[in-house]
Structure formats: C-alpha cells, structure tokens
Chain A
Amino acid sequence: MSNAPILEVRDLRVEYDTPRGPVGAVDGVNLDVLPGEFVGVVGESGCGKSTMLFAIAQLLSPPASIAGGSVVFKGQSMVGMTEKTLAALRWRDYSVVMQSAMNALNPVTSIGAQFRDVLRAHGSKEDIPQRSAEVMRLVGIDPVHLKSYPHQLSGGMRQRAMIAMALLFTPDLVIMDEPTSALDVVAQRSLMVQIKELQQQLGFAVIFVTHDMSLVSHFSEQLLVMYAGKVVEIGKTRSVFDTPAHPYSRGLLDAFPSIRGPRVELLGIPGSPPDLAKPPTGCRFHPRCPVVMPECSTVEPELYQVENARSRCLRSSPGFAVRTEAPQPSEGVIA
C-alpha cells in the first residue's frame, strides 16, 4: 500500500454570501488523509467543521461556495469538477454519512428499496439483494430489516443502516458528519467500535466530524481541532490528547467531567464562539483564552510545529519559551 495520501486539501476556503457581504466559514484548511486513516475533526458548533466536510465532498450549495484552495482526491482535483465526473466518483470512491438518519433516510420507502436505488443509481453490476444483505450483516443488522421502514428501527440501528448504505460500494473514503449525536452513550460507544472494526476490515479512510472529543480519542490516528473556521491544532491524536499545545484544545479536553478521581469544579470555555462576519483581530481565540498575551490581539499566529503536532498559538511559535502543560504567564520574549 502506497503512502501517498488519498486526499490532499490545501488552503481550502469557503464563503457564505450574506446580505452583509461574504462571510468566511472555513479559512485556509490544510489536510492530508492517508489510505485507511481515521481522521477526527473536532470543534464547537459553528466552527466550520461541517462546512469544511461538505466542501470536501463537493456538496456545498448556494449561498455557500468554495472561495479558494484545492481538494485533490486520488489524484483528481475535485473543485470545479463537473457534476458528471463527480457522479462517477460519488459513492463508489467516497461516500457520506449524515448527522441524523431520520433526516437522511427517506421515511416512506423501506431500507432495502433505498439501497436498491443507490446501487442502481451508481451503476452497480452486482446482485442487488445479495449486496444489500451483505452490507447489513457487516454492520450487525439482520438482513430481514431490509423490509423495514426507518421509523421501525431504533436510533442506533438507523445510524448503522446509514453506514451500511455508505459502504455499498466499499469506497476508499467515508466522510461522517456527527453520526452519533442523536444517540445516547451506550449506542454511541457501540457505533464507534463498529465503525473502527469495519475500517480495519475493509480498509477505508474516515473523516469524522464531531463536537465531542471523547468519541474520537480512542479511534482516530490524526486529529484536527477547529475554531472559528481555522485549524488550531492538528497532529497525531495521542499527541494532541496527552499534551495539547493549543489552549482551546486544552479547554475542550477539560470540559469532560471525570468519573474517577476527585470531584473538581470545571470551568469549560467561558464565552461563545465569535461572529464570523467580524472575527476578532489577531488570534481568533484570544477573547476567550485563559493564557492570552498582549500580542495575541494583533498578531495572527500560523500553525507552528510542536513535537508531533502543529498548533496555531503564539506560545507554540519557535523561539517562544518552552511549552508547558499547565497555563502559565509568559516567561520569555518571542524572538
């Protein structure tokens, strides 16, 4: 298996046309996805993660549009591709799992009929009932449910049916937009384990978008943390979890009350995400940052390399004092 990435995103920018002028929802995202890699994208609501996902999948519709950058999938540039060429790729080479199965599945047709539609629409030569039953078994649902309607299945089963649908053509990349947010914790855990098992079995890459870091902590190899349209930290998952470089990542991690250990009062991340029409100057996180410095409001940080990750924080820039784990007032001067 080659080590060339199957997906290369460079400087991706997405804008929304609003009466007040264009608003940048995604601002300069770079991402490489290797074959079979599980990439997690984490951030609060409104940070642009879902928009970025739709941009990669070429699913944006007006007033949103790709304003710049490139998306190269398996050597082909996706941005600006005609609908016809895209249609050939869709579902065969990459597929999408949406946030809520009840919104994505047609409520008036059976699951089996929807699978059939997908198989036919993308020109499958295989035996339809056989393939449908196969994918259902893959996700752990008895194929007898092909006759069921979405409302007859439980929430967890519906989501698994969505995943089965995404795997009909064994694509190389599956894009998932918060597929577990409508489920409770037990079902979430079971779904995540399932996805990971399928990934290891079939070898597809996954881009998984969520606001809940814990979901991807154990399953992803690469992790992106997004804030206000920008990537603020990116690197190996374990690295970001064990030693988060960016104060926002640290804040997200700290938002989880622990079930073991002493009960401490947590603060979460006070304040709310900025209005993307008028983002803060300098570092976009600086109004909410617990370790903000004076220069943060004027200098826009780049992504600086920090061991196994990159962090968009002036404290991580080269020449800054040694990065510590606990927030501390600045000690050195940026060279």
Chain B
Amino acid sequence: MTAIMVDKAVTPTSGRAPKGRPGGSLLTAIRTNRKAMVGFVIFVFFCVAAAVPQLFTSVRDPQLRAFDVSLGSSREHLLGTTAFGQDVFAQLIYGTRQSLVIALVAGVFATALSVLIGVSAGYLGGVGDGILSLITDVFLVIPTFPLIIVLATYAGKGSLGVVIIVLVITGWSYGARQLRSQTLSLRNRDFLESARVRGERRSYIILVEVLPTLTSLILASFLGAALYAVLTAAGLQFLGLGDPSSASWGTMLYWSQSQSALQTDQVWWAIAPGLCVALLGASFALLNYAFDEISNPALRPVRRTRVKRTHP
C-alpha cells in the first residue's frame, strides 16, 4: 500500500474545452520560458538562413573562387575572404543548410532507434530486455570518435549520407538507456495493468499507452541527439572526413586550419564557423531546458511577485 498523496480537489469547470496538459501547447510553453525563447529564436534564424540564403548574401555560389584572396572584413565581404577567394560570410550562410540537415535527420533517426530499443527493453523485461540492453551497452561503451573515424574512412570520404549513418549508429544508445529506465519505472503503474486486464495486446500497450507518457523524454532525447550530431559532424569534417568541396561549417574549419588562417590574420574564417556550430548546439540545449521544465513543474523557476511578508 502506498501513501496517500495530498489531493488538490478540483471543482468542475464549466464548458467543454478542457485546460489540456502542460506540453500540449508547446508554443505557449516556449514563449513563457526565457531560455527556450532564446534557443527558439536562434534556431529559427538558422532555419531561415538555410532555407533562403539569398536573403543574407548576394553571392550565389559560395564555393566559387570569385574574389581576391585573404581579404580582411569590409563592407563588401563582412567576414573577409578565404585563402581561395571565397566570401566567408556567404560560406557561413550556405553552410547552415548542411549542418541543420545533419542535425535534424541524424537526430530523428537516432531517436527513433533509441525509442524502439529502449522502450521495448524496458517493457518486455526478461530475456528480451537482457539482449537489447546488452546491445545498448556495447554501443554505449564503444569509444565513439575512433569508431567514427574508422567507419568514415572505410566508407570513403564524402557523402553526407555516410556521415549521418555514422552519427546515428553512435548516437542512439544514450537515449535508449534513459528511455529504458523511464519505461521500467512506468511498467507497474496501474494504468498499464488496467490495459493488460482489459485484454490489450502488448504491441498496443507499448505504442498507445506507454509511448505518449514518454513524449517529453523523447523530445529531450531528440534535442540531445541533434546537439550531438551538430558537434560531432563538425568534428568529423574538421578532420577532413566530410566532403571537402561542400559548403559546411566543418569543412570551413578544415580549410581554414589547413591554410593557417589564424596565423595569416584571417581571424573570421577561423572562428566564425566554430561560433556557428556552438550557437546551433546551444539553441538545442536551451530548447531542452524548456522541455524539462514543461514536463516537470518542480523545475520551473519561481516567478515571485511579492516579497514574503511577515508580521513583527
């Protein structure tokens, strides 16, 4: 027998439309949370840059060596030009697309895999759990960067697809662990037993009864995976394992490093791509805060409107 929790009695509210749960309206939640708002704005900015780069720069092909080399920043070239005569700012803007695509696609697939394996392991228990957990733990423990380097090198340099696949393979296991734990804690809740006693099939219970209660964790997992993807992709490309001729922040880092940009005073070429990676990653992290706070009211910052008054 468990303890009685203090029940906040609710009087019937009139009208048909119910208040809805927190998290039901994401946009309102984001709006009211400052950290999430900042993250959201940054994210939206990058989305716009990826979708319509023409808004930000007049350059049409950022890889074209159209300009004088190694210029400093000026009104024509906001961040100067590269050692090959490309506009740094234009490269930055066009590079957004690739980074965003990698982050979102790898994030989605890694999360899907986490959910599939983590939730099944948690719910099935027994031998199924044993096997799935073993697989999860193996992937968790494998040193990711060396693995990535090996895989990427083996698969041949270049293709965006390879980078994404590698990221998914190395990025799913952490989320799977978390989802498994959460599923385990839910497993003996009465509403699941109620579904079993009702005669529902196991697959129905996992998909319809368990998953919706995990949405905030799944979203957080996704954001975490996206963050991981952005940073790791940049790292891979910096090492030269991406497609060096494509426009992306990571390859900018690669080239600026190989051309010793910092030593030759092309400061922006060296720093700006890194800053963008950090900003995009930060936007995911900030959005993550919002989801934490939405799903767990105890984490919400107290907005005190009055100072505690006491009588002398």
A–B proximity contact (CB within 8 A): yes
B4 touches A17 (CB 8 A): no
Closest to B32 in A: A19
A100 touches B3 (CB 8 A): yes
Within residues 154 to 188 of chain A, which ones have a CB less than 8 A from any CB in chain B? 155, 178, 181-184
A303 at interface by CB-CB < 8 Å: no
Segment at the A interface, from B48-56, B197-205, B300-308: B300-308
* A70–B309 CA distance with the chains assembled, in angstroms: 11
A44 touches B9 (CB 8 A): yes
* A69–B311 CA distance with the chains assembled, in angstroms: 6
Closest to A21 in B: B305
B11 touches A45 (CB 8 A): no
A45 touches B310 (CB 8 A): no
Q: Convert B286-312 into 0s and 1s, putting 1 for each residue whose CB lies closer than 8 angstroms to a CB of A.
A: 000000000000000011111011111
Within residues 1 to 38 of chain B, which ones have a CB less than 8 A from any CB in chain A? 1-4, 6-11
A45 partner, pick from B7, B304, B311, beta carbons under 8 A: B7
Q: Which residues of B contact A178 (CB under 8 A)?
A: 3-4
A275 touches B1 (CB 8 A): no
B8 touches A17 (CB 8 A): no
A99 partner, pick from B3, B303, B304, B309, beta carbons under 8 A: B3
A62 touches B306 (CB 8 A): no
Q: Convert A171-207 into 0s and 1s, putting 1 for each residue whose CB lies closer than 8 angstroms to a CB of B.
A: 0000000100111100000000000000000000000
Taking chain A's interface residues, is the majority helix, strand, or loop, or is none over half, making it mixed?
Answer: loop
A118 at interface by CB-CB < 8 Å: no
A85 CB → nearest B CB, Å: 14
Within residues 46 to 101 of chain A, which ones have a CB less than 8 A from any CB in chain B? 46, 50, 62-63, 65-70, 79-80, 99-100
A143 at interface by CB-CB < 8 Å: no
* A277–B302 CA distance with the chains assembled, in angstroms: 19
A274 at interface by CB-CB < 8 Å: yes
B7 touches A46 (CB 8 A): yes
Q: Which residues of A contact B302 (CB under 8 A)?
A: 17, 62-63
Interface residues of A, Cβ cutoff 8 Å to B: 17, 22, 44-46, 50, 62-63, 65-70, 79-80, 99-100, 102-103, 155, 178, 181-184, 211, 272-275
Q: Which residues of A contact B304 (CB under 8 A)?
A: 17, 62-63
Top-8 shortest CB links A-B: A100-B3, A45-B7, A80-B310, A182-B3, A46-B9, A273-B9, A62-B302, A181-B4
B3 touches A79 (CB 8 A): no
Q: Which residues of A contact B311 (CB under 8 A)?
A: 68-70, 79
* A22–B304 CA distance with the chains assembled, in angstroms: 10
State whether A182 and B2 are in contact (beta carbons under 8 Å apart), knowing that A46-B8, A69-B311, A275-B11 are contacts in the complex.
yes
A-B contact pairs, 18 of them (CB 8 A): A17-B302, A17-B303, A22-B306, A44-B9, A45-B9, A46-B7, A65-B308, A66-B308, A66-B310, A70-B311, A80-B312, A100-B3, A102-B2, A178-B4, A181-B4, A183-B1, A272-B11, A275-B10
Q: Which residues of B contact A99 (CB under 8 A)?
A: 3-4
Task: Name 7 extra pairs, CB < 8 A, besides A181-B3, A182-B4, A272-B9.
Answer: A17-B303, A44-B9, A45-B4, A68-B311, A155-B1, A211-B4, A272-B11
B309 touches A68 (CB 8 A): yes
Closest to A44 in B: B9
A188 CB → nearest B CB, Å: 11
B8 CB → nearest A CB, Å: 6
* A102–B303 CA distance with the chains assembled, in angstroms: 31
A184 partner, pick from B1, B3, B312, beta carbons under 8 A: B1
* A68–B305 CA distance with the chains assembled, in angstroms: 16
Closest to A275 in B: B11
B11 partner, pick from A17, A62, A184, A274, beta carbons under 8 A: A274
A67 touches B309 (CB 8 A): yes
* A68–B308 CA distance with the chains assembled, in angstroms: 9
A102 touches B9 (CB 8 A): no
Q: Which residues of B contact A79 (CB under 8 A)?
A: 310-311
A285 CB → nearest B CB, Å: 14
Q: Which residues of A contact B3 (CB under 8 A)?
A: 99-100, 102-103, 178, 181-182
